[in-house]
Structure 1
């Protein structure tokens, strides 16, 4: 009996100590929920006992929803019904027939769309998506209390789909704090608030499924993926963490996908916010390079180990990169102190650099590292032209021909040096490498190709089992293709 009593006392003491430790020091989420601790969002187990769900979302919604707005836009669409004339210049009888039966068709029609946004300052500045207000003739903002305002578009940045608009009011408005999306973790709970399907303020919750998603929407793709429901009308609305800070701007969904939405990281928006407010547009840095992914085959051809970095397929004539000595085949592994893991990371690093600033760029060239200093220029509307520019190669499965004046005129080719691909054999090494009809071959193994004769001379050196590196021009882009010879 004595031993049993001691055991019971020890157990009770341990439980008491555990409660005290939990309450005073390392408080678990469950303990916080049970103890009523309101300092941090409490978590309690879901019914299945497998997933934890936040219980402070109602309070969070009450605190931040006054700063979330509904945005409706109107665009005036004009339709022209041309007058039809007969060969004698008189009005065609069919025109009268058309007007009699279809004359009541409107010549102008208003196109309306809906979206969301959030107030970022008490004087009425609002962040949203560019596609929400793009080409709108009229923008109306509705607050949570149903008060409406006409809004002015202050600035837009289509490259990252961001717009800054403003409403005028004498009262100070509720606004939200912009958080740090770089600190957002995969698996972290987030809350989306917006105006889906025009229904009004709606809140959904989920977790961050992934970061750095590339969905092909632009050169600076870096989306937060979340399973918090995002629907049409949510565009431009805020994505919150559980502290109530905005960490993203709800931007895109996948048609037919369930539980997959994408938000622009708020750090990306913060980096251009001042420019949008002061100038109405965004000025970005420009390096003047064409880049692509570094594949194992291309790395082997260049004598490079590993796959880190952005492969330079070509440089723009007269651009900062060419002036600094960067050339085709270089692999950029570090830019202005930032490690470049792949081709998606370089554009953002360059764009965020102030024009006129000189930065160090570390390259891999011929298997060796080298560093060059580059003075970044301002990105303009035109990025410039790349520098530089029937024979059948049975080993490649590639048919090429000279760039004649007729071909140059037909395909708007300014630099006629090189050969144009006129055929790609099915199942050939050329097809496997990604060649397309219309591609212009400018270099083979870094040696210029100006005509059929030079192409034939280079093709004669192809060896079975070896890889050949082609510099190809495709439209405005320059890409490197690696072909393994049979």
Structure 2
């Protein structure tokens, strides 16, 4: 009987062990089930974050599809006369051989009726501009206006059908690290899409202090200039303008004019025939550790006011030398490019709320932007400004516009003779002020010659044709 009892107990224990092992390893709900995949547990769940690299986030197909059909190929045909100095010297031969030069780039259709944005350098000095759509249809384009300072040009084509276009996005809302697409026609290829992230904002690469580029690592090569930089929804956030390279080809970074600046330029050209630039009326520089130490201030970010222009909106609002601008409206101002980039989206008489520091205390002031005394008509590369009281008294004039600078390469050798002259009339139309001249020239074609009557620095009236 004892043996039977012992045998029964052993059998019972063996069965329990077998059942337990089955439950432990083969039951799908068991913690060590062989049907389950291994699970890695982090020491701290605070690092278990979605970094946005899922296939859904990286699907750029919709944005690309929306953009490629609105990006165009821009062909710039210019002609120049090449002379033979030997023939001129020995035989008195006058004239030369006409040579055709062709440049290419990209552009973005921004309206269904055919307005196109591109870079000014893409169409500079063009005698003929040809646009080719993504469907291979070609059109002759008319130059509506340009802004060489920000490297933007507005073109127009007349198509019988409604055209696909890309809508402007808000470049102020673009964030560093955000995915973007660059769409253009590099190396004369049809619309090409590359992807990258926004590497930085408010980059100033020029020496005139007004640029404020979006920097991206999306691949941009020769021919991409004037193309679109779009967000993942396909909204236009920038116009690709240049690359940072020692070779001329893409090596890491490219730069785009923000869409908010581009849109304002386009609207100005359409409405006024030129770019309306408002000014805050302050001069100074951005702060950093070295500048702050020299100035004896603790703040290391912001724009330090060194001078306030007379009769400007800044002066009327009480801004003073030594104030540090840290915010315009809701936009933080850490650098000069931040400040100039924001002001470039505004017009004269727009109001801006300025937040500034004075003796360590934060203050605000509503500033009405003044009208910039100078803006370029961008016609023939001549920059103009209204004459002041001193000029009127010196030359005994009550009207006229003064040549501020010469950017036209063909006129560069005459810049010292032309700069400072007062233009009295253009094609026999009185040059009352910069606005009048700008509107008049915006209606003329760049290839047309114009007659200019002016007073030179010696008070002599001269006439030239350019």
| TM-score, length of structure 1 as denominator length | 0.61
- Asked if the contact 2:83–2:95 (Cα under 8 Å) also holds between the matched residues in 1, the reply is no
| Partner-residue secondary structure (3-state), 1:71 | strand
In the aligned structure 2, how far is the partner of 1:202 from the partner of 1:338? Answer: 34
Taking structure 1 as reference, are residues 200 and 370 closer, same or farther at Cα in structure 2, changes over 3 Å only?
A: closer
Q: Which has the larger radius of gyration?
A: 2
Looking at structure 1, the residues matched to 352 and 182 of structure 2 have their Cα atoms a distance apart, in angstroms, of 39
Instruction: Provide Cα deviations, 1:41-100, integer angstroms capped at 9, x if missing partner.
Output: 5x4xxxxxxxxxx5x54x654443221100011223245678x9xxxxxxxx9822574x
Cα distance, 1:113 vs structure 2: 1.0
Residue of structure 2 equivalent to 1:228: 218
Change (3 A) 1:279 1:316: same
Secondary structure of the equivalent of 2:214?
A: strand
Deviation at 1:14, TM superposition (A): 8.3
Tell me: CA distance 1:72–1:169, structure 2 relative to 1, closer, same or farther (3 Å): same
1:4-403 correspondence to structure 2 within 5 Å = 4-8=25-29, 40=56, 43=58, 54=59, 56-57=60-61, 60-79=63-82, 95-97=89-91, 99=93, 105-106=96-97, 108-216=98-206, 218-256=208-246, 258-296=251-289, 298-300=291-293, 302-336=295-329, 338-381=331-374
Relative to structure 1, is the Cα distance of residues 185 and 377 closer, same or farther in structure 2, using a 3 angstrom cutoff? closer
CA-to-partner distance for each residue in 1:199-229, whole Å, 9 max, x for gaps? Answer: 3332323333333333226533332222222
Deviations along 1:337-383, whole A, 9 cap, x unmatched?
54422322222333434422454544434445555554321113278
**2 CA distance for matches of 1:65 and 1:359?**
37
**TM-score, normalising length from structure 2?**
0.63
CA distance in 1: counterparts of 2:100 and 2:196, whole angstroms: 36
Structure 1 unpaired stretches of 5+: 16-25, 34-39, 44-53, 85-92, 386-486
The alpha-carbon distance between structure 1 residues 104 and 198, as it changes in their structure 2 partners (threshold 3 A), is: farther
Report the CA distance shift for 1:294/1:14 in structure 2 as closer, same or farther (over 3 A): same
**How much does 1:285 deviate?**
1.3
Seen in structure 2, the aligned counterparts of structure 1 residues 228 and 94 have a Cα distance that, compared at 3 Å, is: closer
The offset of 1:140, in angstroms, is 0.7
What is the Cα deviation at residue 253 of structure 1? 0.6
Count of aligned pairs: 342
CA distance in 2: counterparts of 1:69 and 1:332, whole angstroms: 41
1:374-417 C-alpha deviation (Å, 9 max, x unpaired): 432111327899xxxxxxxxxxxxxxxxxxxxxxxxxxxxxxxx
Native 8 Å contact 1:130 1:156 kept in 2: yes
Structure 2 unpaired stretches of 5+: 1-21, 38-48, 376-384, 388-466
Matches of 1:29 and 1:314, distance apart in 2: 46
Change (3 A) 1:372 1:179: closer
Separation in structure 1 between the aligned mates of residue 180 and residue 256 of structure 2, nearest angstrom: 11
Contact 2:84 2:96 in 1 (8 A): no
Q: State the shift of 1:260 in Å.
A: 1.6
State the distance in 2 between where 1:66 and 1:113 align. 22
Structure 1: distance between partners of 2:51 and 2:35: 19
Deviates more, 1:257-266 or 1:210-219: 210-219
The answer for the alignment partner of 2:23 in structure 1 is: 2
